[in-house]
């Protein structure tokens, strides 16, 4: 794929690639390039750096961030001479660069070089995958479990990896024309099915030659003529028969069949041949052929027994030497009999140092008792898998290795031990666990409720504050739909607001539904959770408003009570002030009434009127005196610093449109008694 916004450059690049007979596609922008890469999956990209956004640097970062394009070769084209720009391109993920203007020969050479490198890496990856399959099946063959069941697992796995329809194992006796199908990938119950080898010329040829046979098309292959003429014809379109040889002698064949013509590539055949070779060793050591052999070897001298054991173990050596895992073989006493290069690399010991050393010698001090427990388990037929063990290397480094044990020579007590260094992996796992626990504690200690869900609405996080608000436990809520936590339609409304608010919303007052179905007022802040540029979930932080609303209600009630008390106090002050203000007028009325009564002749109408005025004034004075006592304003004698309302000043300062109680100025002056003692 050619990515360049300049039409002339695209044309020149296309001409150079076409002349070199390299198929290509040209695009004129970064966005178009990203879209096309997902569709056509190019083998290599020629990328111009200077383009409108997204430019070459951005495209490089995007490609390297995607798992499917992480290893895609990218050759950048640039007219920039600055070294820092070239360094920047390599830091962004470029594999090579060509300066503009370029020479077509150089461009094509660099493209072909990157393609060869990619092919080599793909081939290496395939080899690693094949080696992993071989190791897996070899470990299975070395297991002490039911061997016939293991054979079925092996043929089933081969059929899966090679993508063929049927794989079977056929074993034969020497100098006989009967074979026995001991395992077939499509029939787990098939055991020791006898077949007449005369009807299988392809098997006979492989047994006699000891060489693999691949029949690309069974309908035309000459060897299958007898099958076509004596029966309905072959049921499979292509066949591959691989010999199972032990010490150069055929023990049987690995028979692969497919309904597709030409289904067997060189790689699949080589992989299956390796497995067949390992199978020969496993069949021999497990003594599956015991009933097919007429004689067995007897060894009576300890020296010959040890040599035989070493020879048996040596059969594994060539295969184990290429293993990416450390592999050692130990005897019943826990001594190391064999170690592969990877085991020596991990432990730091050479082959002579490891041979004869006890397994527990390389364990760390805290693992001393483990070696004894393992040997005891071996004698009981227990072979642990995926066990983490701490070891000490030759240079005193502390490592953690993940170990799996399996029986190799069951009758001799030999045990296969495969392991790999997982020190860094366990450290990272421990740090991740610590970080996760810390974050969990932070979330649980939050006073606000925190709830998170994926894009399907499934709740994945429900902290303790959320439990208090809803009255539900995390176990009740996690895994359910978040909509159940809101009134009908509220969850959808909130999500629409979040999306409309560029992925977040703050201070939204809504109701949620608790365990009893009652609404709970909360203040919500929510946001989308992104991985890169992709939304993967949402999170909401809820503040319970119930206590705040109760406090506001209590505050309002208190304010109303204070206002009522203030009104009562004002009324009392007004009453007291009114009583005080009536003091002097009443005193004058009483004095003048008394004076008139004394001056007028008793019994006259005027004297009677004066007496009435005097009596009514005294009654009014008593009422004022009582009002003063009720309002705590004594009208008899105002002394000290008691303050009362000054009605004259208050009435002058209060606007006509307002009630007199609005202004509560007080008078500092002392007032006299309401009435003097009568003589």
184-188, 399-403, 572-576: which range is least confident on average?
572-576
| The most confident of 6-20, 214-228, 235-249, 563-577, by mean pLDDT | 6-20
Pick 266 or 10 by higher pLDDT.
10
The predicted model gives 400-426 an average pLDDT of: 82
Q: What is the pLDDT of residue 640?
A: 42
Q: Where in the chain is the domain with CATH 3.30.450.20?
A: 302-426, 446-544
pLDDT band, residue 624 (cuts 50/70/90):
confident
pLDDT band, residue 478 (cuts 50/70/90):
very high
Q: Where in the chain is the domain with CATH 3.40.50.2300?
A: 2-124
Pick 536 or 320 by higher pLDDT.
536
The predicted model gives 406-422 an average pLDDT of: 77
Q: What is the pLDDT of residue 146?
A: 56
Mean pLDDT of the chain: 77
pLDDT band, residue 412 (cuts 50/70/90):
low
Asked if residue 546 has pLDDT above 70, the reply is: yes
Name the DSSP class of 611.
Answer: H
Q: Given the structure tokens 């925190």, which residue do they identify?
A: 450
pLDDT band, residue 191 (cuts 50/70/90):
confident
Q: Tell me which residue of 4, 20, 18, 32 sits closest to 101, measured CA to CA.
A: 4
Q: Tell me which residue of 529, 498, 531, 524 sits closest to 509, measured CA to CA.
A: 524
Asked if residue 70 has pLDDT above 70, the reply is: yes
| The most confident of 175-184, 245-254, 296-305, 505-514, by mean pLDDT | 505-514
Question: What is the tens place of the pLDDT at every residue in 156-172?
Answer: 777 777 778 888 888 88
Calculate the alpha carbon distances from 375 to 80, 170, 330, 385 in Å: 67, 36, 10, 14
139-153, 426-440, 498-512, 526-540: which range is least confident on average?
139-153
Q: What is the pLDDT of residue 539?
A: 92
569: Cα separation from own chain's centroid = 67
- In CATH terms, the superfamily for domain 142-291 is GAF domain (3.30.450.40)
Mark out the alpha helices in 451-545 (DSSP H runs). 464-470, 474-477, 490-500
Q: What is the pLDDT of residue 284?
A: 64
Q: For the full predicted model, state whether its pTM sits above 0.85.
A: no
Q: Which two tokens stand for residue 453?
A: 């869900």
Q: What is the DSSP string of 358-400?
A: BGGGGB-GGGHHHHHHHHHHHHTT----SEEEEEE-TT--EEE
Percent of the chain with pLDDT over 90: 6
Pick 503 or 307 by higher pLDDT.
503
| The most confident of 137-151, 302-316, 399-413, 430-444, by mean pLDDT | 430-444
* Fold that domain 302-426 belongs to in CATH: Beta-Lactamase (3.30.450)
Asked if residue 230 has pLDDT above 80, the reply is: no
Q: What is the pLDDT of residue 282?
A: 66
Q: Which two tokens stand for residue 98?
A: 């060509």
pLDDT band, residue 507 (cuts 50/70/90):
confident
Q: Tell me which residue of 233, 237, 245, 234 sits closest to 206, measured CA to CA.
A: 245
Q: Where in the chain is the domain with CATH 3.30.450.40?
A: 142-291
Q: Given the structure tokens 């005080």, which residue do they identify?
A: 580
What is the dihedral angle through the alpha carbons of 528, 534, 537, 543, rounded to the nearest 10 degrees? -10
Which strands make up the sheet holding 2-3, listed edge to edge? 26-27, 2-3, 45-48, 74-78, 96-99
Asked if residue 523 has pLDDT above 80, the reply is: yes
* Fold that domain 2-124 belongs to in CATH: Rossmann fold (3.40.50)
Q: What is the pLDDT of residue 285?
A: 60
pLDDT band, residue 454 (cuts 50/70/90):
very high
Q: What is the pLDDT of residue 481?
A: 92
> 312-329 b/e with 16+ CB inside 10 Å = b?
bbebbeebbeebebbbbb
Asked if residue 641 has pLDDT above 80, the reply is: no
Q: What is the DSSP string of 29-64?
A: SHHHHHHHHHHH--S-EEEESS-SSS-HHHHHHHHH
- What's the CA gap between 493 and 56, in Å, rounded? 40
Pick 375 or 650 by higher pLDDT.
375
Q: What is the pLDDT of residue 145?
A: 52
Q: What is the DSSP string of 639-664?
A: -TT--EE-HHHHHHHS-TTS-GGG--
Count other C-beta atoms under 10 Å from residue 625's C-beta. Answer: 17
Contact 426, 435 (CB under 8 A): no
Contact 257, 164 (CB under 8 A): yes
What residues does 418 pair with on adjacent strands? 327, 404
Contact 570, 661 (CB under 8 A): yes
Strands 2-3, 26-27: pairing kind = parallel
What's the CATH class of domain 446-544? alpha beta
pLDDT band, residue 315 (cuts 50/70/90):
low
pLDDT band, residue 139 (cuts 50/70/90):
low
Asked if residue 12 has pLDDT above 60, the reply is: yes
Asked if residue 459 has pLDDT above 90, the reply is: yes
């Amino acid at each position: 794929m050619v990515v360049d916004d300049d039409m002339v450059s695209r044309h020149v690049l296309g001409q150079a690639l076409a002349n070199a007979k390299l198929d290509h596609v040209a695009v004129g922008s970064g966005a178009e390039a990203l879209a096309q890469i997902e569709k056509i999956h190019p083998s290599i990209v020629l990328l111009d750096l200077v383009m409108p956004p997204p430019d070459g640097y951005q495209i490089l970062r995007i490609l390297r961030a995607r798992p499917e394009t992480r290893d895609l070769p990218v050759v950048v084209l640039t007219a920039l001479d600055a070294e820092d720009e070239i360094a920047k391109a390599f830091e962004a993920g470029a594999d090579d660069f060509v300066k503009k203007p370029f020479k077509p020969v150089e461009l094509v050479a660099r493209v072909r070089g990157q393609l060869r490198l990619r092919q080599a890496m793909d081939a290496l990856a395939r080899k690693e995958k094949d080696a992993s399959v071989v190791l897996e099946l070899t470990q299975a063959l070395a297991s002490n479990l039911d061997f016939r069941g293991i054979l079925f697992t092996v043929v089933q796995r081969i059929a899966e990896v090679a993508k063929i329809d049927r794989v079977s194992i056929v074993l034969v006796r020497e100098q006989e024309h009967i074979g026995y199908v001991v395992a077939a990938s499509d029939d787990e119950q098939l055991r020791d099915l006898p077949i007449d080898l005369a009807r299988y010329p392809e098997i006979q040829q492989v047994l006699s030659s000891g060489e693999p046979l691949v029949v690309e098309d069974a309908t035309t292959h000459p060897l299958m003529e007898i099958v076509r003429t004596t029966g309905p014809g072959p049921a499979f379109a292509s066949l591959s028969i691989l010999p199972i040889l032990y010490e150069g002698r055929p023990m049987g064949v690995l028979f692969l069949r497919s309904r597709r013509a030409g289904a067997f590539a060189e790689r699949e055949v080589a992989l299956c041949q390796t497995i067949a070779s390992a199978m020969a060793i496993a069949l021999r050591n497990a003594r599956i052929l015991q009933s097919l052999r007429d004689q067995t070897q007897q060894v009576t001298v300890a020296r010959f027994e040890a040599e035989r054991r070493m020879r048996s173990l040596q059969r594994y050596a060539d295969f184990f030497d290429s293993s990416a895992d450390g592999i050692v073989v130990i005897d019943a006493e826990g001594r190391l009999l064999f170690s592969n290069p990877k085991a020596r690399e991990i432990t730091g010991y050479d082959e002579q140092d490891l041979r004869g050393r006890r397994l527990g010698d390389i364990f760390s001090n805290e693992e001393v008792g483990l070696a004894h427990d393992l040997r005891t388990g071996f004698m009981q037929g227990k072979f642990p898998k995926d066990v983490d063990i701490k070891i000490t290397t030759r240079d005193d480094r502390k490592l953690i290795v993940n170990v799996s044990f399996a029986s190799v020579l069951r009758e001799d007590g030999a045990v296969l031990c495969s392991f790999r260094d997982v020190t860094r992996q366990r450290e990272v796992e421990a740090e991740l666990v610590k970080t996760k626990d810390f974050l969990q504690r932070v979330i649980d200690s939050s006073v606000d409720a925190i709830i998170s869900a994926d894009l399907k609405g499934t709740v994945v996080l429900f902290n303790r504050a959320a439990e208090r608000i809803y009255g539900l436990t995390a176990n009740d809520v996690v895994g359910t739909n978040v909509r159940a936590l809101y009134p009908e339609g509220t969850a959808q409304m909130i999500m629409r607001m979040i999306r409309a608010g560029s992925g977040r919303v703050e201070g939204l007052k809504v109701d949620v539904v608790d365990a009893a179905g009652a609404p709970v007022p909360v203040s919500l802040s929510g946001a989308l959770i992104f991985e890169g540029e992709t939304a993967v979930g949402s999170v909401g932080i809820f503040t319970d408003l119930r206590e705040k609303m109760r406090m506001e209600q209590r505050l309002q009630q208190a304010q109303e009570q204070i206002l009522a008390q203030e009104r009562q106090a004002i009324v009392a002050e007004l009453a007291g002030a009114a009583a005080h203000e009536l003091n002097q007028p009443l005193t004058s009325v009483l004095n003048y009434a008394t004076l008139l009564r004394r001056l007028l002749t008793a019994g006259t109408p005027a004297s009677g009127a004066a007496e009435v005025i005097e009596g009514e004034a005294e009654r009014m004075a008593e009422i004022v005196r009582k009002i003063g006592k009720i309002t705590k304003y004594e009208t008899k004698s105002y002394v000290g610093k008691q303050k009362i309302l000054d009605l004259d000043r208050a009435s002058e300062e209060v606007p006509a449109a307002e009630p007199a109680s609005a202004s509560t100025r007080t008078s500092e002056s002392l007032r006299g008694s309401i009435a003097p003692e009568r003589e």
